Amino acid sequence: MQQRSDNHASAGRDGGSPAPGRTAQFKVAAIQMASGPNVAGNLGEARRLIAKAAEQGARLVVLPEFFAIMGMDEQDKVKVREEHGQGQIQAFLGEAARRHKIWLVGGSIPLAASTPDKVLNSCLVFDEHGVQVTRYDKIHLFNLELGNERYNEASTIEAGNRVVVVDSPFGRIGLAICYDLRFPELFRAMKDVDIIVLPAAFTETTGKVHWEVLVRARAVENLAYVIAAAQGGYHVNSRETHGNSMIVDPWGRVLDRLPRGSGVVIANVNPMYQNSLRASLPALAHRTLHVIQ
C-alpha cells in the first residue's frame, strides 16, 4: 500500500496542495453502516456503499468509526489490528479510493498500539490514487456508566496525541472521531478548516439527545461543513448505535441525513457560499481569548 512520508500531520499544512481559488461546488458523502464482527462481510458492505456514493458523484467519501469490525466483545478489534501500512483493511481502502478516483476517509480502523493488548483507533485518508495522505489517532476516549450501559475505551484503546489537518483539492480538512465531538477546543486547534470529517459510533442513549446538536454546533462555531458518518442500528453484539449520519453546512443547516440503517448521505459543498458567510460574519477573526492570560 502506498503512503506519503508525511502522513502524521499536526494542525498545519499537510498532504496535497490546496486547490487555487476553491470555488467550484462538489459532492461529498457520508456512509452509514451497522457493522458486525465479520471483517470480510463489513468490507463487502462498505465496498457496495462506496460504489453507490461514487455513482452519485461524490468526490470525498467518509466511512463510519470501526466500519470493518464491531466485535462481540472489546478484544475482537484487538485480534484484527493491523500494522500501519499493511493489512487487508488498509489495502481495501486504498484500492477503493483508486478504483473510484475519490478521496476516501477510512472511518476508523484498529491499528497496532505500543502495547499488544490495545489498539489505536485510527482514521486514514486516501487520495484518488489510493495513496494514504494522512492519519489521525483518536485523542478522546469514551467512558460511560449509565444504567446498564458501560463503556471504557481506554481498556483496549491507546489515545492519540496530535491534532491532524490535511490540505486537499477540497480545502483544509480536519479529522476527528466520535467522542472528540464533545471537545470544541480540538476543533479550534485545527485552525480554520473548511471541512470537518467525523466518523462515529455514538450510542443511542447519548446520541438521541446530544448527537445532532453537537454536530451542528461544531459546524456553526467553525463556519465549516461537517460530514458526520455514523454507525446506525442494532448490532450483532446487542449494541445499539444512534445513526443519523448527516452533512451540515457552515450555517448549521442539515443538508442530508439518514436516521437508521445502511446507506449513503450526500450533499453539495459550495465554497463560494462558505466564503460569503465567513466574510459576512467573520467570527473566526474575532477570537480574542488567546490574548487573555
Annotation says 123 is catalytic: no
Please pick, among 45, 65, 82, 204, the residue that the annotation labels catalytic.
Answer: 65
CB neighbour burial string for 118-155, b if at least 16 within 10 angstroms, e if fewer: bbbbbbbbbbbebbbbbbbbbbbbbeeeeeeeebebee
Nearest residue to 263 via CA among 57, 19, 30, 105: 30
204 is catalytic: no
How big is the chain by its Cα radius of gyration, in Å?
Answer: 18
CB contact set of 260 (below 8 Å; sequence gap of 6+): 232, 233, 243, 244
Q: Single out the catalytic residue among 45, 77, 178, 204.
A: 178
Q: Which of 45, 77, 138, 153 is catalytic?
A: 138
Residue 223 exposure: Cα atoms within 13 Å on the Cβ side: 18
Task: State how far the Cα of 99 lies from the Cα of 1, in Å rounded to an integer.
Answer: 14
- Count Cα atoms within 13 angstroms, Cβ side, for 87: 18
Q: Give yes or no: 178 in active site.
A: yes
Q: Which amino acid is present at 270? A: N
Catalytic residues: 65, 138, 178
